[in-house]
Amino acid sequence: MSELFDCRDAFVATLEELAEQDPRIVAVVNDSIGSSKLTGFRQRWPERLINVGIAEQTLVGVGAGLANAGLKPFVCAASCFLTGRALEQIKADIVYSQAQVVLCGISSGVAYGELGPTHHSIEDLAWTRVLPGLEIIVPADPVETAAAVRYAYAAEGPVFLRLSRVGVPRLLDQRYRYEPGRAHVLRDGADLTLIACGVMVHRALEAAERLSDLGLEARVLNLPSIAPLDRREIVRAAQQTGAILTLEEHSVRGGMGSAVAEAVVAEAPCRMKLMGFEDFAPTGEANFLLDHVGMSVIGIVDAAQRLVGEPLVAK
């Protein structure tokens, strides 16, 4: 088993590195200093760590105001509260107003597995994806997390960084640079394509290896940029492999799989299956929950085999 990383470490390390160079960088929190791993940031720059209290609407509004004042705010909160409680502030103050704010949704997905659905954030992509002009990034490993933080810092508009705390192996080369609207082929194959983001990417790669043993060659696409979307790479996968299985730590409604389906249905209809959460998740540790809803490596292999083996519905 390879070493596992909590991507929040890469997030804060990169943020501190940037904050050393740019005094305009501030972190804004809703009492979420520890959960955002910002204790070190606060020690180094206490005046640049703004804690508005347990008040998410103010959190996001203050972020917009700081940007107006010429600062570079990183607004950090548990993704479930950041996106759910303050969605209208995200829409009006940040996105519609095009405030240059980086929204950092910490412990997204089912990272807070045992705490239950109130603390799960498997709706955040659906809620944010409909906002035109908001870039959305779901990094898959520490390298991509660091690259995404650097990109978001320099971006001209608002960015939603969806970060996890669930351990993931390093998948990408240190030279990796995040590009908006760019998906990456991590493994080539001609029989079907597994499209994954975030904590599901390493599971997709493992499943592809098993599938290869079984005689099916799966292409694996890492899709960190939910908005903008790499329609060209998705359409190419649909046309060249004829089947797409999407894997996300999110509801099957309205998330990354839905975004892929929108591109596929418009430009290159093919067989598709969306894997993710169909319902509020039960209680349990994050990896248990991913397995539980069918996204264990074996579960993915099984779903892939079924998808490729299924006859197309007759007209």
Partner 1 sequence: MPLPSRLTTEDIPDLCQKMRGTLLTTIVNAKMGHVGGDLSVIDILGTLYFSVLRVDPTDPHAESRDRFVLSKGHCSVALYTTLAYAGFLPIEELASFAAPLSRLNGHPCNRKLPGVETSTGPLGHGLPVATGIAIGGKLSGADWRVFVVVGDGELQEGSNWESMMSAAHQRLDNLTLIVDRNHLQQGDRTSAVTSMEPLAERFAAFGWETHEVDGHDHAALESLLSSPNTSGRPRCLIAATVKGQGVSFIRDRVEWHHKVPSREQLAAALDELEVAS
Q: Which is nearer to partner 1, 90 or 300 (CB)?
A: 90
Look at residues 181, 228, 223 and name the one whose alpha carbon lies nearest to residue 204.
223
Considering just the CA atoms, what is the radius of gyration of the chain in Å?
19
Q: What are the helix and strand counts (H, E) for the chain?
A: 12, 12
127 belongs to the binding site for partner 1 (CB under 8 A): no
Residues 157-196 that bind partner 1 (CB under 8 A): none
Is the sign of the CA dihedral 257, 260, 265, 268 positive or negative?
negative
Of 99, 111, 221, 245, the one binding partner 1 (CB under 8 A) is 99
47-65 in b/e burial notation, b at 16+ Cβ within 10 A? ebbbbbeeebbbbbbbbbb
Q: Which is nearer to partner 1, 64 or 146 (CB)?
A: 64
Look at residues 125, 248, 141 and name the one whose alpha carbon lies nearest to residue 197.
248
Q: Which is nearer to partner 1, 51 or 240 (CB)?
A: 51
| Burial (CB count within 10 angstroms: exposed 0-12, middle 13-18, buried 19+), residue 106 | buried
Q: How far is the CB of 68 from partner 1 (least distance, A)?
A: 5
Of 5, 96, 127, 288, the one binding partner 1 (CB under 8 A) is 96
Q: How far is the CB of 196 from partner 1 (least distance, A)?
A: 35
Q: How far is the CB of 270 from partner 1 (least distance, A)?
A: 38
Q: What residue has token string 């204790």?
A: 39
x-marked contacts with partner 1 along 50-69 as a string, rule CB under 8 A: x-xx-x-xx-xxxxxxxxxx
Of 6, 31, 84, 97, the one binding partner 1 (CB under 8 A) is 97
Q: How far is the CB of 132 from partner 1 (least distance, A)?
A: 12
| Alpha carbons 48 and 4: distance in angstroms, whole number | 31
The pair of three-digit structure tokens given for residue 61, joined into one six-digit string: 């509004």
Q: How far is the CB of 26 from partner 1 (least distance, A)?
A: 7
Site size toward partner 1, by CB under 8 A: 31
Look at residues 128, 86, 79, 82 and name the one whose alpha carbon lies nearest to residue 106.
79
SS3 content of the chain, % helix, strand, coil (to 5): 45, 20, 35
The pair of three-digit structure tokens given for residue 153, joined into one six-digit string: 């810092």
Residues 16-45 that bind partner 1 (CB under 8 A): 26, 28
Of 12, 71, 247, 290, the one binding partner 1 (CB under 8 A) is 71
Q: How far is the CB of 56 from partner 1 (least distance, A)?
A: 8
Of 17, 20, 22, 88, the one binding partner 1 (CB under 8 A) is 88
Q: How far is the CB of 222 from partner 1 (least distance, A)?
A: 33
- DSSP H or E segment with residue 27: strand 25-29
Q: Which is nearer to partner 1, 29 or 80 (CB)?
A: 29
Q: How far is the CB of 94 from partner 1 (least distance, A)?
A: 10
| Alpha carbons 204 and 301: distance in angstroms, whole number | 9
The pair of three-digit structure tokens given for residue 196, joined into one six-digit string: 């994954």
Task: Give the footprint of partner 1 on this chain (CB under 8 A).
Answer: 26, 28, 47-48, 50, 52-53, 55, 57-58, 60-71, 73, 88-89, 92-93, 96-99
